[in-house]
Amino acid sequence: MRVVLACYLMLCALHVTAQNKPTSIIYVIGDGMGMEYLTAYRHFQDDPTTAALESTWFDRYLVGTASTHPDDVTQVTDSAASATALAAGIKTYNGAIGVDSQGREVETLLERAKKRGYQTAMVATSQINHATPASFAAHIDSRQKYDEIADQYLERRYQGKPWVDILLGGGKQYFERDDRHLVDEFKALGYQYAGDFAGLDTLTRAPALALLADRGLPFAIDEPPADRLRVLTRKALELLEADKPFFLLVEASQIDWCGHANDIACAMREMADAEVALQAIEDYVGQHPQTLVVVTADHSTGGLTMGAEGEYVWRAEVVRGIKASANTLAAALVAQKPWYATWQSITGIELTNETKERFSRRLDEVHSAETEAVKNTAITALRAQVLAQIDRASATGWTTSGHTGGDVAVMALGAGAQAFAGQQDNTELARKLFAVIGE
């Protein structure tokens, strides 16, 4: 009886929200942001000068969890299947973009919102036609068809206009191709365009398109602005008209990419990038209370553990001291002779003489490579050694370079946030948001 009553009250809350002034929706997806990332980030951002372990934005607005499995026997989802579940409320196969297991197109939240008169926007730190945003605005059998997805953003129309009013992220190489210049075609439809961060200031109205890198944006740890997701989110909110409802998708894309690389310092900086963007969103909701914010992840990545090799410790101070991703660090070690001063300046980690010798041998392999292929193989081995040393120093563990199948957190605030409490499947998040938008 309690469960029935709780479900009834939840549906009533959603119904009331839908019947009153239309509710704007901000849907935030931390790609790869599993539970263990939230825990590690809590310790990463902790002020070591105080006795208390400070809470994060994620802690303050945590309301529930969501399961993530795809529509097959694998139990472990990819970003496309999970994003389609979060966008359309249906299970599908890994790799599917906005289609069900039979390949049929399914309506997404963004599309429903557009039909109801909402403004629509998508922000990502990956290419804007990557799996997660694509699942909200395209319909195709494979996430790998990046050119075709970009084409769909332009060609698929509602009332003569593209479905998405504002597109901010990376992916320039897919929109400025030898076979087709989509940027010019967007401009012809009235879209303002920015090709770098400086150009964002020239965007003064919707529709707007910003493509700020050839593919994904640089990692937050490597290149300013470190708060790039906040910059893009604020720009989207600035371009959306406050007196009209909107649907805004925000993806913190590269938590996942750092997780695939098993790069803990990179991942924690991406979490920080997401948190400051969420703080900006919270500020917006404070001024625009008829806004609902739902935050979740599509899956977790890497099998991150705090503590490794039998050590009952996690040294957050080591992670905080690292100033570059493993990719950038390895490149710096190759470029600088002697290399050890560079290592210390970027990581702050002391190496034993034996470890220094192993690094020197790896660097000799890079410098003596006779072909580009051999050199790339040597650099890959060097990067792996860099990551292994960082993990050893910080007692960080990883079980995979891929995804894992655990539940993920759900955070919510604003109008109707209470409806997202408790354990639920990821498809339920979409169905509840469909109810907010209405038929």
Q: Which of 261, 297, 330, 294 is nearest to 421 (CA)?
A: 294
Q: Which of 371, 361, 369, 376 is nearest to 331 (CA)?
A: 376
Distance CA 191, CA 193 (A): 6
* Single-letter amino acid, residue 276: V
Distance CA 25, CA 213 (A): 27
Q: CA dihedral defined by 129, 78, 392, 44, rounded to 10 degrees? A: 70
Query: Which residue stretches of 118-209 are H helix?
Result: 131-137, 146-155, 172-175, 182-188
Contact 329, 346 (CB under 8 A): yes
Tokens, residue 19: 């019947």
* All residues at 6 or more sequence positions from 41 whose CB lies less than 8 Å from its CB, including other chains: 56, 58, 268, 271, 272, 275
Distance CA 204, CA 194 (A): 11
401 catalytic per annotation: no
Residue among 55, 67, 79, 101 flagged as catalytic: 79
- The helix/strand/coil state of 137 is helix
Contact 173, 134 (CB under 8 A): no
Distance CA 418, CA 437 (A): 16
Distance CA 348, CA 351 (A): 10
Contact 130, 167 (CB under 8 A): no
Active site residues: 79
